[in-house]
Structure 1
Amino acid sequence: MTTTRTKKAAPLDEVMLAMDVVDTLRHSENLVARELGEEDRASALMERLREVYRQQGIDVPDRILREGVSALNEARFAYSPPTGGLGYFLARLYVSRRHWGKQALFVALAALIGIVGYNFAYKPYVAGQAQASIERVQVELPARMDELLAQITSVAKVESAVVSATETVERGKAAAAASDLQRAEKAVADLSTTLTQLQGEYRLQIVNREGSDTGVWTYPDVNENTRNYYIIVEAIGTDGETQVQSIINEETGQAEQVSQWGVRVSEVVFNGVRDDKLDDGIVQNNIMGLKQYGYMDVDYVLPVLGGEITQW
């Protein structure tokens, strides 16, 4: 038969008394002289503790005193604060949450809003824009090219206009198939310009008004010893109103929308118009040419050399 002995836990009042002994020792630095040896020091502590508790009217058994001294030596009831490690860092972070909590919450909310906005607003928007761009370049623009070509074909009275428009459509559709939005849009713009030019109907009239130039001459940059002569004209529609035209300035190479421009002529034609005006202040033969519906170009009455200016 085996007898099992179970060590019982010390009563709570004895533990508390031992803790008090340790606390008394810890706060009474002069209880024992430091120069005493370990055995003398323990005996002196025991004796001094008996005296301290005797003066307080407390009878403390020697085993409790010995337990207190032993606990003091082992630092059993001493608290040693943590000095590092992840747990220590997280504990301090939690305790100081009052100082950084609002800022952290704000940053977290901002980040959450940013993530939600990026995934549920910006990305769908970008995807939608990309899809719309693809649909425009591959569906809408080719359809618009076909529409403009059909209108040009029905209006044009010269085969060259239809041939040129057809070539433009072919280039434009090739660009659309390659998702080249810029070139596809340019094809549509060129077709629109062609249609507008074909539909135009006006007379090209020499400007003959007080305060307006009828003719000018300039020195070209390439040869300052030569003069270029220009007659200033305007487009007058069938309704008698001046029409704005897109004219390419030969000096700059840029197209401009203008109501008056200069048409380059020879010196002989220039002098003839000048003499006509000097005769009585009025240009009698003031029709420079006619632009008929369905045609691309002006049918000039006076001979021209080609080239136009928009500024002088």
Structure 2
Amino acid sequence: MADQAASIAQEKAPASLNDLMLAMDVVDTLRHQDNLVSRELSEEQRDAQLLKRLREIYLGQGIEVPDRILVEGVQALKEQRFVYTPPPPSFARTMALAWVDRGRIGRRLLTLLAIVAFGWGAYHFGIVEPAQRRVAQEQAQAERNRVDLAERLPAALEQEHEDVLREAKVATAREKAAGLLADGKAAIARGDADAARRAVNDLEALHRDLRREYVLRIVSRPGEPTGVWRVPQRNPTGRNYYLIVEPLTPDGRVLKLPVTSEEDGRTVEASKWGVRVSEATAMRVQQDKKR
């Protein structure tokens, strides 16, 4: 039997694809059934037993395999002919694997690049550029404030104060203008451009009010009080009498003017307010309204 196996092994290797597939199947069967024969047998006895057992296996499956194919399979198993041995790690192997897996790697790289690009864009356009614009705006505003404090605001304060004095006919207006001028100069001295601008705007508003032509008319309409009296906080036993007035232009329009309260010093814009008068004047107006 051993001589027959040796002579068959010397025959030509399987030429057809079917023979090759059968030989590979034989090798696979031998790998998965390692206990087909005893390990204590000699090599020739082992080969003979393997061939016999393989014939029985295939005949049991209804497959007739030529002896040369069985011998070829046994020989291939010994030579590890159909066993794949991966190449050892190397740069060439790494590059080859990367090329084989280039589709998945490319998608991951594109995703990573998209994330990096989105993050850079969000950081640049959402943080860097707004910060640069804020810095530029702050620098421009600081330069405007410097120029205004050095040149425009001092001249504007003096000019508006002079305009108010030309129009002011009462001491109250002149005193208010002097206070606004002092506030503006103090703001310039401490470098507060916003406060200085407010002082200039207040002087302009006072000037406009002084140039308005109007008369104060005592309110005398049904359902509205003509006068009121109040108990002053500093003199609980006394009374202050007020006539309710409204500013009226020559064409009949009622104006809204800044009015300063004598009780708390606050200034508000109002179209009606109380003017303090003597008790006798308040009583006389009240009697006239009753007629």
Relative to the length of structure 1, the TM-score reads 0.56
Q: Secondary structure at the match of 2:248?
A: strand
1:152 partner letter = H
Query: 2:104 matched to which residue of 1?
Result: 95
Are the structure 2 counterparts of residues 92 and 251 from structure 1 closer, same or farther at C-alpha, using a change threshold of 3 Å? farther
Q: Secondary structure at the match of 1:243?
A: coil
List gaps (5 residues or longer) in structure 2: 1-12, 14-18, 56-64, 88-96, 169-173
Counterpart-to-counterpart distance in 1, 2:255 and 2:67 = 120
> Out of 136, 153, 161, which is 1:152 matched to?
161
Relative to the length of structure 2, the TM-score reads 0.59
Are the structure 2 counterparts of residues 156 and 61 from structure 1 closer, same or farther at C-alpha, using a change threshold of 3 Å? closer
Aligned pairs for 1:27-38 within 5 A: 27-28=29-30, 31-33=33-35
Displacement of 1:171 after TM fit?
1.6
Query: 2:92 matched to which residue of 1?
Result: none
Q: Secondary structure at the match of 2:80?
A: helix
> Out of 164, 170, 174, which is 2:185 matched to?
170
Displacement of 1:156 after TM fit?
0.6
> Which structure dedicates a bigger proportion of its chain to helix?
2
CA contact (8 A) 2:184 2:195 kept: no
Displacement of 1:235 after TM fit?
1.9
Q: Secondary structure at the match of 2:258?
A: strand
Q: Secondary structure at the match of 2:72?
A: coil
Q: Secondary structure at the match of 2:201?
A: helix
Q: Secondary structure at the match of 2:152?
A: helix
Counterpart-to-counterpart distance in 2, 1:139 and 1:214 = 52
Displacement of 1:122 after TM fit?
2.0
Counterpart-to-counterpart distance in 1, 2:74 and 2:193 = 100
Displacement of 1:166 after TM fit?
3.6
Displacement of 1:270 after TM fit?
1.8
CA contact (8 A) 1:216 1:229 kept: yes
Counterpart-to-counterpart distance in 1, 2:263 and 2:48 = 119
Q: Does 1:115 align with 2:123?
A: yes
Q: Does 1:246 align with 2:261?
A: no
Q: Secondary structure at the match of 1:33?
A: coil
Q: How many residues align?
A: 247
1:123 partner letter = A
Counterpart-to-counterpart distance in 2, 1:42 and 1:220 = 131
Q: Secondary structure at the match of 1:66?
A: helix
Counterpart-to-counterpart distance in 1, 2:239 and 2:182 = 38
1:170 partner letter = K
Query: 2:10 matched to which residue of 1?
Result: none
Counterpart-to-counterpart distance in 2, 1:224 and 1:27 = 121
Query: 1:203 matched to which residue of 2?
Result: 215
Query: 1:128 matched to which residue of 2?
Result: 136
Aligned pairs for 1:174-185 within 5 A: 174-175=189-190, 177=191, 180=192, 182-185=194-197
- State the Cα deviation string for residues 109-128 of structure 1 (Å, max 9, x = none): 54243234236742343233
Query: 1:139 matched to which residue of 2?
Result: 147
Q: Whose RCO is larger (CA < 8 A, sep 6+)?
A: 1
Q: Identity of paired residues, percent? A: 25
Counterpart-to-counterpart distance in 1, 2:226 and 2:199 = 37
2:277 partner letter = V
Aligned pairs for 1:5-20 within 5 A: none
Are the structure 2 counterparts of residues 67 and 46 from structure 1 closer, same or farther at C-alpha, using a change threshold of 3 Å? farther
Higher gyration radius (CA): 2
Q: Does 1:55 align with 2:57?
A: no
Are the structure 2 counterparts of residues 21 and 163 from structure 1 closer, same or farther at C-alpha, using a change threshold of 3 Å? same
CA contact (8 A) 2:23 2:73 kept: no
Give the root-mean-square deviation of aligned CA atoms: 5.0
1:115 partner letter = Y
CA contact (8 A) 2:240 2:276 kept: yes
